[in-house]
Amino acid sequence: MEAKHRALVEARCFVLSGLPPEVTIKFINPYFEGSAQALMAGMEESAQQNPSKTLEVQHAIAEGDWVAVHSHVRQKPGDLGAAVVHIFRFEAGRIAELWDLGQPVPEKSPNQYGMF
């Protein structure tokens, strides 16, 4: 599998399959405790509150054990959404660390290129 798709596939499997006890991950986000369990709880809560949420991958970059994914996330249809970057570090073929950062899409912007 191509490295740029590995992060997306593993993240989806990670969320859908639950958390086996041996899974450890450093989740780096200032709004959550930094464990895999906190990541799962936050994702489940978000999915319940925003069942129509969409994530459109715009770019994916892979280098060695690192993968960065730039996405357009909308909580519900019609939202301007946010530009989100997920940075994954892999160890032994599994996600070892995950960072996420986001920036709201403004209604108006002087930048002619937009965010995507």
Domains annotated for the chain, with CATH where assigned, are 3-104 (3.10.450.50)
Give the per-residue pLDDT at 59: 96
Confidence of residue 72 (pLDDT cuts 50, 70, 90): very high
Taking residues 63-81, what's their average pLDDT? 95
Which residue would you say has higher pLDDT here, 56 or 92? 56
Tell me the pairing of strands 54-63 and 82-91. Answer: unpaired
Q: Hey, which residues does 48 pair with through a beta bridge?
A: none
Which residue would you say has higher pLDDT here, 47 or 106? 106
Count of C-beta atoms within a 10 Å radius of residue 20: 8
Q: Give the Cα separation of 12 and 6 in Å (integer).
A: 10
Q: Which amino acid is at 62?
A: A
Confidence of residue 115 (pLDDT cuts 50, 70, 90): very high
Residue from 111, 110, 89 nearest 25 by CA:
89
The pTM score is 0.75
Count of C-beta atoms within a 10 Å radius of residue 71: 21
Q: Give the Cα separation of 86 and 14 in Å (integer).
A: 15
CA-only gyration radius of the chain, Å: 15
Taking residues 93-98, what's their average pLDDT? 85
What would the pLDDT profile of 10-69 be if each residue is shown by its tens digit? Answer: 555 554 445 555 556 787 777 778 877 777 788 888 888 998 999 999 999 999 999 999
Q: Hey, which residues does 76 pair with through a beta bridge?
A: none
